[in-house]
Amino acid sequence: MNRTTFEVGTFEVNCSILSENGKAIVVDPGADATHIRAELKKQELDLAAVLLTHAHFDHICAIPELQRVYPDLPVFISDADAKIISHPFNQFPPDYPLVTGIKNVKTAKDLGSFLTSIGWTATVEVIDTPGHTPGGVCYLFKTGDGKPDTLFSGDTLFCCSVGRTDFPGGDMATLQESLEKLKVLPKDTVVVPGHGIETTIARELASNPFLQ
């Protein structure tokens, strides 16, 4: 599995393009659909799906444009967060338009079988990590080639910090329970957060006060 990660949008969301055998998946396309499409073209990739760690607007804004170009593009997200994608409280700051028109929404629980259907050898574990939002998830990708696993942690876990819980649907106690699930992952797991620099589980266990 190949990975290209870059920042998109005003809120500098880490958007990742994952690919195998010419089939690509985009994680958290928060903005800059033109940039995403250009990168897909550069790598000669066919976009097969979108994965969302959660439904907040800064992680989803490029989806309507991507689905205009790829009309059958599936969007994988937890069942809980699928309910809030177009909810009015997801429109913040107020001067940002509410993201509407996202279609072909699929449950994140079916992601593993989808990867098999498009010929990927990498596998994925979908870890429920509510707290930042009611239905936040982390995606743990395993390639089976001896390389460390890769965790896309969204806004659950950052380098030396965690996501906010003061937005609607957030809850610090719930987030803390979710972090317990991440603490037991292999220490060499590479963590690609929703914002900021990449890290590892080992580094967070050593330096993140929320994982102590």
Could you give the C-alpha distances from 92 to 3, 63, 99, 156, 175, in angstroms and in order? 30, 17, 11, 19, 21
9 close to 58: Cβ distance less than 8 angstroms: yes
Topology of the domain covering 2-211:
Metallo-beta-lactamase; Chain A (3.60.15)
Whole-model pTM: value is 0.96
DSSP-derived secondary structure for the chain: -EEEEEEETTTTEEEEEEEETTEEEEE---S-HHHHHHHHHHTT-EEEEEE-S---GGGTTTHHHHHHHSTT--EEE-HHHHTTTT-GGG--STTSPPP-----EEEGGGHHHHHHHTT---EEEEEE--SSSTT-EEEEEE-SSSSPPEEEEETTEETTEE----STT--HHHHHHHHHHHHTS-TT-EEEESBS--EEHHHHHHH-GGG-
Residue 100, C-beta contacts closer than 8 angstroms, at least 6 positions apart: 64, 86
Query: Which of 57, 4, 1 lies closest to 27 in space, CA to CA?
Result: 4
pLDDT (0 to 100) of residue 88: 73
In the Cβ-directed half-sphere of 172, how many Cα atoms lie within 13 Å?
4
Those residues of the chain that have pLDDT short of 70 are: 91-95
Give the residue extent of every domain in the chain. Answer: 2-211
Burial zone of 7 (CB within 10 Å; 0-12 exposed, 13-18 middle, 19+ buried):
middle
149 close to 185: Cβ distance less than 8 angstroms: yes
pLDDT (0 to 100) of residue 63: 97
Structure tokens that stand for 45 in this block: 């990739």
